[in-house]
Amino acid sequence: MACKICELIKKKEGLLYEDDLVVIVFGDSVEGHLKIYPKKHVQKIQELEEAEFNRLFTSASLASTMVFEALGGAQAGLGTNMMVNSSTMTEHLCIDVVPRRSNDGLKLQWEPKSLSEDDTKDASTRIKDKCDFIGKEKPKKEVVEEKTKSELDEEHPMVKHLKRIP
């Protein structure tokens, strides 16, 4: 089944902004709702390359500022929420920029649950261990040159002495 978002990008339907990595379209939840999509078809944020990731979030930040300014911002008591829809449950990765006004009726609040002290400690330990890698480059995989079968045969001591000399 084809992705509706990829089709929209191909047809260039209703695009507010487009560059080589992202597109921005109007959403339909509230006035000024924008959806920012990577052009590359991905469902999870982890599937993006670094440049795509950076462009997606830079575009979302600029879109949020644009919406804030275009709709009156501080004078209108306006703010914005940015939500990342990233999972195998979504058709295409998306960042929603949703303008907010006091008493707008949108229910975007989550109800936090209380974890046990042991669960909290365990999770914080595992996450803290991973934080040591923030800001550091991933180690690059060493490229190993593959040898052809004939090169391997020539190197192998058991095969080397079996070669015929014409």
Name the pTM for this structure.
0.67
pLDDT for position 59: 94
Domains and CATH numbers, the chain: 17-101 (3.30.428.10)
In one-letter notation, the amino acid at residue 127 is: I
pLDDT for 92 equals 93
Write down the H helix ranges in the chain: 4-11, 50-70, 117-131, 149-155, 157-160
Ramachandran category for residue 117: left, alpha or beta (phi over 0 → left; psi -120 to 50 → alpha)? alpha
pLDDT (tens digit, 0 to 9) for every residue of the chain, 166 residues total?
A: 689 999 989 998 888 999 999 999 998 888 889 999 999 999 999 999 999 999 999 999 999 998 888 887 766 667 888 999 887 778 999 999 988 887 777 776 667 778 788 888 888 888 887 777 777 776 666 766 666 655 655 655 555 555 555 5
CA distance 159 to 29: 72
Task: Report CA-CA distances (Å) from 155 to 144, 145, 158, 161.
Answer: 17, 15, 9, 10
